[in-house]
Structure 1
């Protein structure tokens, strides 16, 4: 009995240490993601050049370590630690994404981790330990989504759909916010590379409403990544046509962007504002959308409210000037019916 107590105590301490490591990893990921858009990547490329004389030996050791950890993912008893170690060291492993994708049962194990917490999403009963573990799984999926050899395979397997229940949550607790942010990171990794096929796939799903939801109720960082995703969709002609095809879609996006601008008047965020401005500027490329912006573009973007906020960002200031110019010269008199209003 005494031995069992000591063993239980030892296991409890190990679990606490593991949870602390996971939390630190997620926090570190958040800090890295603070520099996201336009660099929504995993960091340095896998197997990037090294000037170290021992690079070949280190490369071999890293590969052996990665292969063993990937094998450990198939063992439920070893999976939690393998998830943590792979997530933490993923930048050190060359071609980790193909290894994950082509290893028997590995992607299924990652999806099993994701599906296992669906039942605690509503009502919201997600624990920090559950969130951290799934976020580690999502980090590995982001690795797969980022790699040129596995990106389209990832899409064709419709794996992004497994993330959508997380984006559909509304709880603002930290475990849920971590889930949303890491899930958005996976989608962001897909859209970071300009590829119409990726955009077309995402538009065939509910990605726009899910991003708009996050833009309305997420943390500043989640809002920034979600807005970046919408921006990248708009910058693709297929995405632009999708948003501007109907008044309903245009005004859904415009309403959320406008609400975000209003909230930034009270709590400015240069990074988030920059992506909002870029979305508006892209919308102004469409004649009907530009005409509609004449009446729905927030006054705070026209009257210098954000001059101080953008004083360090010359690109954002130039975008804003171009936006105001486009809207000013692109307004169509109401009787000509050039905008979306006549469609409502």
Structure 2
């Protein structure tokens, strides 16, 4: 099973992607290198401080150390009123995400840092259950459905997608997959695939790939012809997108190939793939990418083998 490299869906900072980080828009804060537990708890309390510099500094420090302390997600969740405050930061930007003017006001970056904390909460097994029970992803869907592509707004889209990706990080949680299916999350990923950055497209296809990795998810994507052809159309458009790039993304290509291999496992999907094959994946269009990716080669072999089984029947 293909896994998206950690750097692409765990940390969307400037060092990993060509997108501005939240710190680019906020006053300079002092990052504490090795905080003790008392300091972590103080930062969580400082999130509620009415002095912007104190609150922003605490938020930036928590984001910096979010992958260092495994207990941080639980501390955030159990802290009185902290989750409500974090949600308020997300909800406050809803009225403004339809205009690029908002991206110059300095507000999205704070929400972006909140999304980074949501990512670790969505990944940690104990808080993931709370996160799903509270239906928290519903607050993120509007950020994935933005029609704009300017970079600060794209950061929000990428941050929201990253939360869903963390929910599905191995080992895959069946409850998380069912939640995304039941609430039409793939529809919101569609917008990112259509107009988002390469990074947003990659994380969206990562989410699709993880859903297809489960029996329930594969059945969900193939049970209706319209749903299958929507997914197939998105993947084919991505192949066209990659073919137009001077340096196409190996990670995105690997995930697309993996999705097709998984889809071909279902007889109904094989029927559609036989009638309307992903030609660019089967001819020499991506020979250079295949040459560097043995997993993608195996995915193509699996796809061809499954399509041929349709012919023999």
Task: Give the TM-score, by structure 1 length.
Answer: 0.78
Does the CA-based 8 Å contact 2:165-2:206 persist in structure 1?
yes
Q: CA deviation at 1:177?
A: 0.8
What is the CA distance between 1:200 and its match in structure 2?
Answer: 0.8
Residue by residue, what CA displacement relative to the aligned partner does 1:126-166 show, whole Å, maximum 9, x if unpaired? 22521211110011111111111111101000111111110
Q: Give the number of the structure with larger relative contact order, counting CA–CA contacts within 8 Å between residues 6 or more apart.
A: 2
Alignment of 1:307-322 (within 5 A): 307-322=287-302
Aligned to 1:327: 307
- For the Cα contact (< 8 Å) 2:12–2:159, is it kept in 1? no
Distance 1:92 1:232 in 2: 25
Unaligned runs of 5+ residues in structure 2 are: 1-10, 20-32
Matched positions, count: 284
SS at match of 2:73: helix
- Does the residue aligned with 2:258 lie in a helix, a strand or coil? helix
2: CA distance, partners of 1:145 / 1:201:
13
Distance in 2, matches of 1:142 and 1:263, equals 28
SS in structure 2 of the partner of residue 226 of structure 1:
helix
Report the Cα offset of residue 332 of structure 1. 8.0
Quick one: structure 1 residues 164 and 260, their matched pair in 2 at CA, closer, same or farther if it must change by over 3 Å?
Answer: same
Note the 1:225-264 alignment, pairs <5 A: 225-264=203-242
> Are 1:184 and 2:161 counterparts?
yes
Q: Deviations over 1:63-92 (max 9, x none)?
A: 111100000112232322221111112223
Task: Point out the structure with max Rg over C-alpha.
Answer: 1
1:299 pairs, out of 257, 268, 279, with: 279
Change (3 A) 1:115 1:76: farther
- Higher mean Cα deviation, 182-191 or 85-94? 85-94
SS at match of 2:102: coil
Instruction: Tell me the distance in 1 between the aligned counterparts of 2:48 and 2:312.
Output: 61
Measure, in 2, the Cα distance between the counterparts of 1:310 and 1:64.
50
| Structure 1 unaligned regions, length at least 5 | 1-23, 33-57, 334-344
